Amino acid sequence: MAASESRVTVCQTWGRTPRRWPVRRNGRGTGGYAIALTALVWAVAVPGVAFADPKPPSRSLEDVHKEVEGLYRQAEAATDAYNAADEATRRQEKSIVEIAKNAAAAQERMNRLRNQAGSLARAQYRDGSMPPQVRLFLSASPQTFLEGLALTHKGEAATRGLIAEAAATQKDLDGYAKAASKRWRTLDDERKRKESAKREIESKLSAARALESRLEEKEKERLRQLEEDRARQQQKQWLSSDAVKGVTLKDAGSATGDGKRAVAFATAQIGKNYVWGAEGPDTFDCSGLTLKAWAAAGRPIPRTSQEQWRQLPKVDVKDMRPGDLIIYFADASHVGMYVGDGTMVHAPRPGRQVTTAGAGSMPVLGVVRPG
């Protein structure tokens, strides 16, 4: 070995004979490799410099519960948006059908008026001349012709009526065409909103199910228990709150006839699965259940919990009676039906069935009365 070279010993902790690596003093050679290898040996051999474990820390079941509930809440809010867009889509479709019927009727009137005008023209053609009435109807500027035309016989009034009716009918046809175009654009917008809400629902539900799927069966049961414990705690707090403190909550016998029918329908659905966007008969979402319950009582109400809150008469919590609807959360995204004795029936969320629960087991926004 040349005199300009020295040797560096690298100890290898796995028990092999030490190796010597040449290092050139002029900076060239394998000195860089020696340094890199030394760093690697220290990373392996020295405590505290090992690579971190990529496995994430375990999460408490309480944290999982909060995240799952949050995802289901977001899915329910999106479901209300979906239902609203679905209802709006139905209204637009119905409106377009009505416009088409009106346009068809107007077109029939126009055809009749043209036939009448044609009959006048043919009659005059047979006589060899063109009466003022027909010249008026066919004129490029009927109004100018009328202003300069003397009323010489009785038929002229009828002709003017014919022209006026034809002009009004044409205006109707133009209006129907514009209205139909506007309705189609609105319908397209509502369909896009509906699809967007559907994608959000499916995304949130997929994330919630993915979290739950990682749990063992005993953990899933414990998760359900956490839900029930939380609901009981909130019910207890609600019963002791100023909203109902000292109030005798009405029982089932205090309902009106319509209220009793609505309650009977809703409670008969207990055990049926929650499915977002469903209105029965075999599955329901929260507002689908209240919608059909009051329909069974002969009272149509809005489709979504948000519209039920916005449109139906509000009553104080202390005055609620069986059949009234309890609206939950600040965004009015959930609804249940009061059935008496501090209890309500509702369709909770995906993965659950229609059931009874404490009327205060969720944050109460207010109470509305369909009838």
Write down the domain spans for the chain. Answer: 5-45, 61-213, 246-368
Task: Classify residue 56 by its DSSP letter.
Answer: P
Please give the sequence-ordered ranges of beta strands (E in DSSP) within 183-301, or none if there are none.
Answer: none
* pLDDT value for 133: 56
What is the C-alpha separation between 171 and 187, in angstroms, rounded? 24
What is the C-alpha separation between 333 and 304, in angstroms, rounded? 8
- Helix (H) and strand (E) counts in the chain: 9, 8
Which of 77, 89, 348, 343 lies closest to 224, judged by CA? 348
Please give the sequence-ordered ranges of beta strands (E in DSSP) within the chain, or none if there are none.
Answer: 5-10, 19-24, 314-315, 325-328, 334-340, 343-346, 355-358, 364-368
> Which of the residues 11, 65, 153, 334 is marked catalytic?
334
Query: Is the CB of residue 284 less than 8 Å from the CB of residue 369?
Result: no
Query: Is the CB of residue 278 less than 8 Å from the CB of residue 285?
Result: yes
Write the Ramachandran bin of 27: left for phi over 0, alpha for psi from -120 to 50, otherwise beta. left
Task: State the DSSP string of 185-235.
Answer: HHHHHHHHHHHHHHHHHHHHHHHHHHHHHTS-HHHHHHHHHHHHHHHHHHH
What do you get for the CA distance between the two ends of the chain, in Å? 105
* pLDDT value for 1: 47
| pTM of the full structure | 0.65
Q: How far is CA 318 from the centre of its chain?
A: 31
Spatial CB neighbours of 190, under 8 Å, sequence gap ≥ 6: 85, 88, 89, 92
* pLDDT value for 302: 95
Nearest-5° angle of CA 322, CA 326, CA 331? Answer: 170
Bridge partners (DSSP) listed for residue 10: 19
* Other CB atoms within 10 Å distance of the CB of residue 175: 14
Q: Is 65 marked active-site? A: no
* pLDDT value for 21: 44
* Other CB atoms within 10 Å distance of the CB of residue 233: 12
* pLDDT value for 113: 81
Query: Domain 246-368's class?
Result: alpha beta
Low-confidence ranges of the chain (pLDDT < 50): 1-57, 146-152
Architecture of the domain defined by 61-213: Orthogonal Bundle (1.10)
Q: Is 153 marked active-site? A: no
* pLDDT value for 120: 64
> Which of the residues 11, 65, 153, 286 is marked catalytic?
286
Q: Is 286 marked active-site? A: yes
